[in-house]
Amino acid sequence: MIRPLRVTSASPLLRRSCCSSLTPPLLPRPPRPAAGRRGLGCHLLRRRCCCSSVAAAFSAAPMDLSGQQPLRKDLYPHIEPFDSGFLKVSGVHTIYYEQSGNPQGHPVVFLHGGPGAGTSPGNRRFFDPEFFRIVLFDQRGAGRSTPHACLEENSTLDLVADIEKLRQHLGIPEWQVFGGSWGSTLALAYSQTHPDKVTGIVLRGIFLLRKKELDWFYEGGAAAIFPDAWEPFRDFIPEDERNCFIAAYNKRLTSSDADVQAEAAKRWTMWEMMTAHLIQNNENIKRGEDDKFSLAFARIENHYFVNKGFLPSDSHLLDNVDKIRHIKAFIVQGRYDVCCPMMSAWDLHKAWPEAEFKVVPDAGHSANEVGVAAELVSANEKLKSMWTK
């Protein structure tokens, strides 16, 4: 059993280390659950009580495997990394990484979206810092990784290789994989390539990078729901080039004119920022106004999409589910996700019924929406219960 490490304001977990080669000792991994094992979430029986509000609260609370206390659904408090550094992964690219939580805890790697979005401090809050050794990193060209917004040697296979290099650099034998949106794409690609290194999978806002998904969001489908956000994205492209917006934007995002790149990046990024929540989020929209963020987000995202994710076929990730069918997994999907509509999560659920599937009825795409965040924390708590039972 992993011994919890209490985090306090004086704890070394809250002090950043300049040692990028920190390799704390690891506990042996608990036994992997049997293939196809399900039914981890149990619930308290509804009880009649004169205090209906208390009864309702307890009846709705999922229990952990011991049946003794409710599984947490609230985000954890903000914490600081205990280690951060840079890892050179190719002749061109160096990636930023950080570790937070329990240095001796169960390792989990967070795979951010975009591609090109980078990580943020709030990403640490989905995980119990007393139990998990939380690893975040910025993918090639994103966030604090260098060179910024670089498209050279930047493909799905490159990123899968980077995850393995980082795992080995940190001395981690195997880890849980957590990813949403493009992060779910990358999580599936990595797990299918290295299933023996994965202890559990949590996915959100499923994106399988198929043509019908790209057409929905970038060729006019989602415009029916957000016409006000769509028109500035559309109007930047001349009418005679609107038969393929991804290709038209690629021409501008790779232009030799920096001003053209910058304007195209803002238009591309703002379209996604304005559609990522069920109810538009002003803080998220402001990210699209950040020149540095939008340049990496738009250039890298478009680069992957114009190249069809560098995947060998449109159904590649679905076709290879058998490689990870035995791994305990959770799929969390907002019912009204416009960026990555539920059809993809549904298709993955049908191909992989062993994975626990949760649809959040009042949410869109963002991991930061209350219902989605709650289910992501809950999924991590269920996996934690498996390792500590």
Instruction: For the beta carbon of residue 57, count every other beta carbon within 10 angstroms.
Output: 12
Residue 387: closest CA among 102, 51, 191: 102
Q: Scanning the structure block, which residue is given the tokens 């650099």? A: 169
What is 270-300 written as a DSSP string? HHHHTTSSSS--HHHHHHTT-HHHHHHHHHH
Please say if 128 is a catalytic residue: no
Q: Is 365 a catalytic residue?
A: yes
CB 364 within 8 A of CB 338: yes
The tokens describing 258, both together, are: 């920096």
- Under DSSP, the state recorded for 39 is -
- Residue 86, C-beta contacts closer than 8 angstroms, at least 6 positions apart: 20, 94, 95, 96, 97, 145, 146
Tell me, what amino acid is at 270?
A: M
Q: Which of 181, 184, 344, 366 is catalytic?
A: 181
Q: How far apart are CA 227 and CA 225, in angstroms?
A: 6
Convert 212-267 into a string of H (helix), E (strand) and C (coil).
HHHHHHHCCCHHHCCHHHHHHHHHCCCHHHCCCHHHHHHHHHCCCCHHHHHHHHHH
- Residues 83, 138, 162, 337: which is the catalytic one? 337
Catalytic residues: 181, 337, 365
